[in-house]
Amino acid sequence: MENTKYAVGLDIGTTKIVAMIGRENDYGKIEILGIGKSKSLGVHRGVVNNITQTIQSIQQAVQESESASGLKINDCVVGIAGQHIRSLQHSDYITRPDSEEVISEDDLDKLCNQVYKLVMLPGEEIIHVLPQEYKVDGQAEIKEPIGMYGGRLEANFHVVVGQVSSIRNIGRCVKSSGLDLAGITLEPLAAANAVLSQEEKEAGVALIDIGGGTTDLAIFKDGIIRHTAVIPFGGNVVTEDIKEGCSIIEKQAELLKIKFGSAWPGENKDNEIVSIPGLRGREPKEITLKNLSKIIHARVVEIIEQVYMEIKNYGHEDQKKKLIAGIVLTGGGSQLKHLKQLVEYITGMDTRIGYPNEHLAGDSDTEIASPVYATAVGLVMNAIQQQKKNVPRQPENQSKKEAQETKQEEQPNDYNQTEPQSTEPKRERKSFLEKWSEKLKDFLDNAE
């Protein structure tokens, strides 16, 4: 494996932390070399609230994936989500000094940089600025304005905003675990990369990633991301409801949900009963499956309705913005029995469960192709894409990176230069997120 590049994705979730090592095989598919999973302690609704516990969980997941693959992990691309993430639509324009010159990348940079000057709430920072359509001198619906003539360049932007402290905390946890932060990617975008096809993104699709602590939403139309949202409810709330409704401990509630849970109460007969051993010396408890699914149904309906409200806010009911490909469900929570039917019933939209198997090599473990690992697979894909972008440019930067490269020769891997994936495919210039994650790395280095 001497010359093989491999990339690492680290998914810091509310219920689990996954470290996944992968590489691209000769057929352009992702081969997973090792995976490590640990119980996530210290993360609540996608936000780190206990640094020490999170570091321990990250180290455990990393060690597990290292022993599974026999490789050493030095840096990783981290996914970011959490209830502090929000998005907004914004339009901006610049007036070019010379309309006789064609529009260049510098003009687009200037326009993008203008958006970062937007005044945010205290403690918030813009993490993604995604241009959607451009207008040149009033001519609308231009996807790529480079090379055109025009005096006024306008664009609609999808702006993703997050809390600086929450993002820095994640960076601190990764660094303290002995890893370098190679990049940051918004988790709904990573999951979308892993489970959505290009046709779906063109036709219009809503990706719903139901995790333990949060439900992430990403809406695509005409191949462009149109809306993102993070709803602060996930599978844990359902478990909590079962725990309280049936007066049992959390571990039993989680097992009940996974084994017997259903989002559709109609299908259970009244006489279907499951018996749960009582706590030390107490009588066992008997719970009817009908009651169990009624508890689950009530909470799941609430989550779906919140997501559907976000889809309506985007403008799904408008004929032009209609999401023809409907909804794709992924994440651990999407495995709940009859959830697909319930989502179709509430929203009236076509629904399927999203598995990340489309991009995985044929001989991959079936466990990895589960919706639970959609985000982790997406993060590995992002890291690999970023590596590819960096390959042709390495010779030019040789002098700057000599020190780095001598280090790399001592190790079999060559993925040290991964950066977060830019969401603008055709551009060679650095996306804001890349510049921003470099800024974050500097900040963390200086903080020590």
Q: Residue 208: what pLDDT?
A: 95
What are the pLDDT digits (tens) for 187-222?
Answer: 888 999 999 999 999 999 999 999 998 999 999 999
Q: Residue 4: what pLDDT?
A: 57
261 falls within a domain? yes
Q: Residue 419: what pLDDT?
A: 41
The CATH number covering residue 248 comes to 3.90.640
Q: pLDDT at residue 398 above 70?
A: no
Domain-terminating residue out of 111, 133, 163: 163
Domain that holds residue 271: 235-291
Q: pLDDT at residue 67 above 80?
A: yes
Residue type, 445: D
Domain-terminating residue out of 272, 291, 310: 291
The dihedral sign for the CA sequence 113, 436, 427, 407: positive
Round to whole Å and give the CA distance between 353 and 372.
11
Average pLDDT estimate for 148-154? 92
304 falls within a domain? no
Q: pLDDT at residue 421 above 50?
A: no
333 falls within a domain? no
Between 55-69, 356-370, 428-442, the lowest mean confidence (pLDDT) is in: 428-442
User: In the structure, what pLDDT confidence band is assigned to residue 309 with cuts at 50, 70 and 90?
Assistant: very high
Residue type, 305: E
Q: For residue 52, what is the enclosing H or E element?
A: helix 51-69
Round to whole Å and give the CA distance between 358 and 377.
11
The CATH number covering residue 113 comes to 3.30.1490.110
Q: How many domains does one find in the chain?
A: 2
Rounded to two decimals, what is the model's pTM?
0.82
Average pLDDT estimate for 322-341? 94
What are the pLDDT digits (tens) for 217-263?
Answer: 999 999 888 888 889 889 999 999 999 998 889 999 999 999 999 99
**Comparing C-alpha atoms, which of 194, 182, 160 is closest to residue 381?**
194
Q: pLDDT at residue 350 above 50?
A: yes
Q: Residue 265: what pLDDT?
A: 85
Domain-terminating residue out of 103, 130, 163: 163
What are the distances in angstroms from CA 7 to CA 226, 233, 238, 358?
Answer: 28, 31, 34, 18
Q: Residue 420: what pLDDT?
A: 42
User: In the structure, what pLDDT confidence band is assigned to residue 84 with cuts at 50, 70 and 90?
Assistant: confident
Structure tokens belonging to residue 124? 């918030």
Q: At residue 5, what are phi and psi to the nearest 5 degrees? A: -85, 140
131 falls within a domain? yes
153 falls within a domain? yes
